[in-house]
A = this chain, B = another copy of it.
Amino acid sequence: MKQAVKANREQQSEEILKHNKLSVTDSRKFILAFFLQQKGAISHGDIEKKAADRFDRVTIYRTLQTFVDRGLVHTIPTADNSIRYALCKDDCGKGEHHDHHIHFICDKCRQTFCLDDVVTPEIRLPRGYSAGHVEVVVEGVCKDCR
């Protein structure tokens, strides 16, 4: 049963890669499947632990970079100097990101979530400043930990 779910994620990963005109390789399938399995955002370290020597560290860095470049994942800023990555939703697609959603970091489980349903608010800036991207990170307790 669980085997079937995993196989499905592998299948799904392969389709996503092809759809984005990326070569289908073991590491990319593995990392993408990890993203699909994961509810929250993940870091390079998370992948390295999970992969456990199946791939070179450098490969993981490069794969993540490729995914970011192609708009498959986006980065989430954190205060503790560890870049986290999360899968982009369909509406991100090629080129620009439309990640209007906010990010949530749980103080207890330390997981990072994309709250896709919560839209970033309009920010009124002082005269002279023009806004591009707005990033909102909320820290608190998630629904599983409360």
Contacts and interface: CB of A to CB of B under 8 A. Distances in A.
Interface in A101-146: 102, 104, 107, 115, 117-118, 121, 123-144, 146
A131 B136 CA distance: 12
Given A79-B83, A131-B138, A136-B137, 11 more contacts: A79-B135, A81-B82, A121-B121, A121-B123, A123-B136, A131-B139, A132-B141, A133-B138, A133-B140, A134-B137, A135-B137
* This chain: copies in complex: 2
Interface of A: 75-83, 102, 104, 107, 115, 117-118, 121, 123-144, 146
A115 B104 contact: no
A104 to B, nearest CB: 6
